[in-house]
A and B are shown apart, each in its own frame.
Chain A
Amino acid sequence: MPALLAPALLTIDALTRTFGALSALAGVSLTLEARERRAVIGPNGAGKTTLFNVITGQLPPSGGRIVFDGRPITGLPPHAVARRGVSRSFQRTNLFPRLSVLENLRLSAAAGAGGSYNLFGRVERVTAPLARARETGAAVGLAERLDTAAGQLSYGEQRQLEVGVALATRPKLLLLDEPTAGMSPEETQRMTRMLEGLPRDVTLLIIEHDMDVVASLADRVTVLHYGEVLTEGTFDEVKRDPRVYEVYLGSE
Chain B
Amino acid sequence: MARALGLALVVAAVLAFPLSVGPYPVKLVQEILIWGIFAMSLDLLMGYAGMVSFGHSAFFGIGAYTAALLLPKWPGLLSALGAPALAAALGALAIGFFSIRVGGVYFIMLTLAFSQMFFALTFQNAFLGAEDGITSVPRPLVFGVRISSLGAFHLYLITIVGAAALLLHRIVRSPFGHVLRGIHDNEERMQAVGYPVGRYKLLAFVIAGTVAGVAGSLYTQFVGSISPDAFLWTTSGEALLMVIIGGTGTLNGAWLGAAAFILLQSLVSSYTERWMLILGLTFVLFVLFAPGGIVGALRGRVGVRS
Contact = CB atoms under 8 A, between A and B. Distances in A.
Interface string A81-106: 01100011010001111110001001
A110 B197 CA distance: 14
Given A120-B170, A120-B171, A126-B175, A115 B195 contact: yes
Contact of B191 (A79, A95, A110, A117): A79
A92 B162 CA distance: 45
Contact of A122 (B174, B179, B181, B186): B174
B192 interface: yes
A107 interface: yes
A120 B173 CA distance: 8
A122 B174 CA distance: 5
Contact of A119 (B176, B189, B191, B194): B176
B178 interface: yes
Contacts of A96: 182, 185-186, 189
B174 A123 contact: yes
A99 B174 contact: no
A106 B188 CA distance: 17
B306 interface: yes
Contacts of B182: 96, 99, 103, 107
B144 interface: no
Interface string B164-203: 0000001101111111011001101111111111001001
B174 A111 contact: no
B78 to A, nearest CB: 23
A116 interface: yes
Interface in A129-161: none
A20 interface: no
Contacts of A83: 194
Interface in A60-97: 77-80, 82-83, 87-88, 90, 94-97
A82 B195 CA distance: 8
Closest 6 CB pairs of A and B: A82-B194, A116-B175, A111-B194, A96-B185, A111-B193, A108-B193
26 contacts: A78-B191, A78-B192, A79-B191, A79-B195, A82-B193, A88-B192, A90-B189, A96-B185, A96-B189, A98-B306, A99-B181, A99-B182, A107-B179, A110-B179, A111-B194, A115-B179, A115-B196, A117-B176, A118-B175, A119-B174, A120-B171, A121-B174, A123-B174, A123-B178, A165-B189, A169-B193
Interface of B: 170-171, 173-179, 181-182, 185-186, 188-197, 200, 203, 207, 306
Given A119-B176, A123-B177, A166-B193, 7 more contacts: A78-B191, A107-B178, A107-B179, A111-B193, A117-B176, A118-B175, A119-B177
